[in-house]
């Protein structure tokens, strides 16, 4: 049984953003402050990464723990209502993430994925990982 009324649940679900989330914005602003220029949700890149550096072929995804199934095998039974729906939805998201990673890798892209909590707790390390990949791409391509 759901703890919220149908109206409360509807409002909560409407508030979930597919792009421009707080964690995504936080990472983007940190990169911008360091002088990195990127594209957000670029539709020309497979999987529409949250942030991308086309010149360096780097795609960055910011994944929330709930929607992308962090620790899924341990947490899949946390859903108390509508389990069939949520299991199918989240498992499909996990599968889609794998498909996107594979396709980008096949076409020469570097894919970075960060969990929301990872960005919240250690933004500096996330930015450092991105900087490392940019420097690596510059070295590889003599840019």
Residue 137 CA to residue 2 CA, distance in Å, equals: 48
Count of domains forming the chain = 1
In the predicted model, what is the mean pLDDT of the chain? 85
What's the token pair of residue 57?
Answer: 């072929």
Query: For the segment 97-140, what is each residue's pLDDT rounded down to a tens digit?
Result: 999 999 999 999 999 999 988 999 999 999 999 999 999 999 88
Query: What confidence score (pLDDT) does residue 13 get?
Result: 60
Please check whether residue 10 lies inside any domain of the structure: no
Please check whether residue 81 lies inside any domain of the structure: yes
Please check whether residue 98 lies inside any domain of the structure: yes
Please check whether residue 110 lies inside any domain of the structure: yes
Please check whether residue 65 lies inside any domain of the structure: yes
Beta bridge partners of 60: 51, 112
Residue 102 CA to residue 85 CA, distance in Å, equals: 26
Residues in the chain: 143
Give residue 30's domain range. 19-141
Please check whether residue 13 lies inside any domain of the structure: no
Cβ(93)–Cβ(67) under 8 Å?
yes
Q: Which of 139, 134, 129 is nearest to 35 (CA)?
A: 134
Please check whether residue 50 lies inside any domain of the structure: yes
Query: What confidence score (pLDDT) does residue 5 get?
Result: 75
Query: CATH code at 65?
Result: 3.40.960.10
Please check whether residue 14 lies inside any domain of the structure: no
Cβ(120)–Cβ(23) under 8 Å?
yes
Query: What confidence score (pLDDT) does residue 103 get?
Result: 96
Beta bridge partners of 111: 59
Residue 76 CA to residue 51 CA, distance in Å, equals: 28
Query: For the segment 39-94, what is each residue's pLDDT rounded down to a tens digit?
Result: 999 999 999 999 999 999 999 999 877 666 776 666 766 766 767 887 888 888 88
């Amino acid at each position: 049984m759901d703890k919220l009324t149908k109206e409360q649940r509807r409002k909560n679900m409407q508030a979930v953003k597919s792009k421009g989330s707080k964690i995504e914005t936080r990472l983007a602003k940190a990169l911008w402050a360091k002088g990195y220029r990127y594209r957000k949700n670029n539709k020309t890149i497979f999987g529409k990464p949250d942030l991308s550096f086309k010149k360096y072929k780097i795609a960055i995804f910011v994944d929330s723990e709930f929607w992308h199934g962090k620790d899924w095998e341990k947490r899949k039974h946390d859903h108390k209502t509508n389990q069939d729906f949520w299991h199918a939805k989240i498992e499909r998201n996990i599968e889609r993430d794998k498909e996107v990673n594979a396709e980008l890798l096949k076409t020469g892209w570097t894919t970075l994925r960060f969990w929301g909590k990872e960005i919240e707790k250690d933004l500096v390390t996330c930015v450092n990982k991105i900087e490392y990949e940019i420097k690596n791409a510059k070295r590889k391509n003599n840019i």
